[in-house]
Structure 1
């Protein structure tokens, strides 16, 4: 049977003349309308096979091809999660039927679920990227609908002062405290810390490294280890055969646990995520005078834009330029809070001399 009912809606399930299996939603619970839709699909498939017309592709076709072509990227897992959520809105739909109204509905549903504008935009950006592929690369569409992005606040940078970091480490369980301290020493992302293996560490050279397939930017990252980082790694020797950080003989896969949030609460630290340890590391480096180009290499960022988020934390190099505009006011008077215009007003003005030659 080529018509199947699923979730109260009829779906077309048939085999095209080319041998390809076609499964699409009719979008209706009315069997008569569903039958009409199926007949139209069969006619289109015949015209594609016999007359060479361009086949009508569905969102599912595009999603599958996207995941196949982007499987090498670090964001592939995140894309799959987003596409699973999008299936409720776009699953089985022909690409030509995806319009602005449908995209606005996706936005409204994400916002209604409590998502921030930034989270909604990441989903919309994925939809936009796939639709653009359909137009520009795959030639499945003549034109894609415009995707309206939401306004976002400034990029979030949350970091700890050193006394706050020490307070947090004191509240964490030992295994998490060691990993958090190592993150503060190296700036590594959570996945790179939990996945760090002994084969990626050389204590004699005081060096660790992240392989390209483990890095978000898909580029190898050299990780110099300071004395504290070396001590933290040496502390883990003999605890696990393959991975550096472990808990009771098992490797750690999750760091944002109940113990993490409980420690934050006890330490009196609010609005702080595990990833903000990386922001803290970068902020401390910039405040300590580390050049941005060096920080970019150490942090494994693919673009300078990502690093320039921290540039405002180190403005020492701008001070000499600010001094070029000196001499505009009486510094001594400014220090003592004297208003020069008022001070001058108390003095008796000299009489204007007459021009006797007039």
Structure 2
């Protein structure tokens, strides 16, 4: 039946299984309220008597996803992506989200940003729809095509570039940037570092599992540089290590950061690239990949191998083998004679 609360119509009926359905129709028009009443009552009958799936909207699926994924490290990213998707999927029933409709929306995101960003939205849609199958809201999810992504170079700074950058940063950002370069911690773990996570006597710190991207605890050995930076922060705040005007820092991608990059003539560089820089320096200094994986809190050594090309010294002996072949060409009128050490030194000095 229909009844009014104020000017708005409400729906009230009992489903075939005895469940009472009572909700607002969201309208002051009786004909619209009656139409919704009849549709809801018909769907309830089909679900009970015919075993049909309930018709659920994308909005409800998104809310349940967020509710069940409260422990997810990247929950804020999911919320941001869902907010964008709501522009196109708000009020849509799950069975209306066809492959072509979803791909049209992803194409908009790809044109606005990049293939990789569109793929991240695609991954979220796919995960939610697959979970809807588990919830009994869908029989199957549409198969979605990922966009090919170009391989990106790892962006890192040479020591002299990093030294130049930090000189242009204000004190609070300089400390956090240098701490990132000394420890390799992710931005959120630096800005969110608390004193209870630091042991000044043992020169160690740690990241709790619920704060780590890999959802595993990370131990940090505070080297001399990191210790000096931490000690400079003592007495500024009772809880947080890094502060600005005695308040916790929430954001590092600020105007001051961008201004420093401009002054240092450093382009295409994000705060997260400080972590890439730290890893690159370690590999070039000879740190084994397995140790680097543990220090950086990566889930697999494969994620660390992207830095391996920066330390090819172990291939020197193999690379030299072809010298014996090339030396045989010297007697055939070629100009491949190897310079002596004196010539090589002079060349390096003058270039």
TM-score, with length taken from structure 2: 0.83
* Structure 1 equivalent of residue 294 of structure 2: 297
Distance (Å, rounded) in 2 between the aligned partners of 1:180 and 1:288:
20
Q: Which has the larger radius of gyration?
A: 1
Q: For the structure 1 residues 215 and 38, does the alpha-carbon distance in structure 2 shift closer, same or farther, using more than 3 Å as the test?
A: same
Whether 1:315 aligns to 2:312 is: yes
Which of the residues 166, 169, 172 maps onto 1:169? 166
Whether 1:231 aligns to 2:228 is: yes
Q: For the structure 1 residues 23 and 286, does the alpha-carbon distance in structure 2 shift closer, same or farther, using more than 3 Å as the test?
A: farther
Correspondence list, 1:196-275, <5 A: 196-275=193-272
Unmatched segments (≥5 aa) in structure 2:
3-8, 338-351
Correspondence list, 1:30-49, <5 A: 39-49=38-48
**1:339 Cα deviation after fit:** 6.7
**1:65 Cα deviation after fit:** 2.5
* Structure 2 equivalent of residue 71 of structure 1: 70
Contact 2:156/2:277 (<8 A) preserved: yes
**1:186 Cα deviation after fit:** 0.3
* Structure 2 equivalent of residue 107 of structure 1: 106
Over residues 184-242 of structure 1, what are the superposed CA-to-partner deviations in whole Å (9 max), with x where a residue is unaligned?
00011111111111111112211111111111111110011111111111111111111
Distance (Å, rounded) in 2 between the aligned partners of 1:151 and 1:23:
46
Aligned residue-pair number? 325
Whether 1:122 aligns to 2:116 is: no
Distance (Å, rounded) in 2 between the aligned partners of 1:20 and 1:337:
91
Which of the residues 283, 287, 291 maps onto 1:286? 283
| Aligned-CA RMSD value | 3.0
Q: Secondary structure at the match of 2:324?
A: coil
Over residues 232-268 of structure 1, what are the superposed CA-to-partner deviations in whole Å (9 max), with x where a residue is unaligned?
1111111111111112211211111101111111111
**1:327 Cα deviation after fit:** 2.8
Distance (Å, rounded) in 2 between the aligned partners of 1:288 and 1:191:
26
Distance (Å, rounded) in 2 between the aligned partners of 1:272 and 1:106:
29
Distance (Å, rounded) in 2 between the aligned partners of 1:13 and 1:317:
75
Contact 2:233/2:242 (<8 A) preserved: yes
**1:149 Cα deviation after fit:** 1.5
TM-score, with length taken from structure 1: 0.82
Unmatched segments (≥5 aa) in structure 1:
3-11, 26-30, 341-358
* Structure 2 equivalent of residue 184 of structure 1: 181
**Range with greater deviation from structure 2 (198-207 or 157-166):** 198-207
**Range with greater deviation from structure 2 (223-232 or 313-322):** 313-322
Contact 2:61/2:132 (<8 A) preserved: yes
Distance (Å, rounded) in 2 between the aligned partners of 1:128 and 1:282:
32
**1:159 Cα deviation after fit:** 0.5
Distance (Å, rounded) in 2 between the aligned partners of 1:152 and 1:220:
31
Contact 2:203/2:223 (<8 A) preserved: yes
